[in-house]
């Protein structure tokens, strides 16, 4: 456990309570589903936050944005849903703790790293479906800035594709 924690701290850049939450969320998922490090897309994590804990998820599970098996749902909850592609099984891990009155950061982090999983997390069935595998999509050139953009992320105006950065300006012309 200590070696894995150190790997997470090195990747993240510092130790903090948020990183500890992600670290222990992975432990909770491993207990619930016996998940293993994902070399490709065997494991998928849907994170409902973009906080420090997501870095621990990347280090410990191999779920990353680049591989397409780390999906970000911007809802602001300290919740992580893990799926195994081969079985379709999943588990949602939600942090239920709040900093106790008067507890400093270091003590709070220590508590998160040592408290029993059931005290820290609610572990339930997933609320979402298993996301599809990552797709390789065509890129097209933006009619304004000429930068290549994933085709499905462009908007059409007067029959021309625009990236999201340029689309509003194209409407004003």
Please check whether residue 10 lies inside any domain of the structure. Answer: yes
82 lies in which domain range? 2-124
Least confident piece of the model among 41-55, 60-74, 124-138:
124-138
Percent of the chain at pLDDT above 70? Answer: 99
Same domain, 92 and 148: no
* pLDDT tier for residue 132 given thresholds of 50, 70 and 90: confident
Residue 173: per-residue pLDDT: 67
Give the integer Cα–Cα distance in Å for 1 and 171.
54
Would you tell me the crossing angle of helices 2-12 and 17-33 to the nearest 10 degrees?
130
Give the integer Cα–Cα distance in Å for 74 and 50.
8
Report the number of distinct structural domains present in the chain. 2
Same domain, 85 and 115: yes
Please check whether residue 60 lies inside any domain of the structure. Answer: yes
Same domain, 19 and 73: yes
Phi, psi of 72 (to 5 degrees): -100, 120
Nearest residue to 93 via CA among 56, 130, 64, 118:
118
Segment holding 80, helix H or strand E: strand 79-84
Mean of the pLDDT values across residues 118-134? 93
Structure tokens at 123: 């572990």
Same domain, 97 and 167: no
Mean of the pLDDT values across residues 49-54? 98
Digit-coded pLDDT (tens) for 74-122? 999 999 999 999 999 999 999 998 888 888 999 999 999 999 999 999 9
């Amino acid at each position: 456990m200590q070696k894995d924690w150190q790997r997470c701290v090195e990747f993240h850049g510092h130790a903090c309570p948020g990183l500890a939450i992600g670290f222990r969320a992975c432990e909770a998922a491993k207990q619930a589903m016996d998940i293993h490090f994902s070399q490709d897309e065997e494991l998928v994590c849907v994170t409902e936050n973009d906080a420090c804990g997501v870095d621990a998820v990347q280090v410990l599970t191999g779920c990353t944005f680049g591989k397409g098996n780390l999906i970000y749902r911007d809802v602001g909850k300290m919740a992580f849903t893990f799926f195994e592609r081969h079985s379709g099984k999943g588990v949602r891990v939600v942090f239920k703790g709040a900093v106790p009155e008067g507890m400093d950061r270091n003590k709070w982090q220590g508590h998160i790293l040592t408290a029993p999983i059931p005290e820290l997390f609610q572990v339930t069935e997933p609320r979402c479906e298993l996301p599809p595998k990552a797709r390789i999509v065509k890129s097209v050139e933006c009619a304004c800035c000429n930068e290549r953009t994933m085709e499905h992320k462009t908007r059409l105006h007067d029959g021309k594709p625009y990236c999201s950065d340029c689309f509003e300006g194209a409407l004003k012309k």
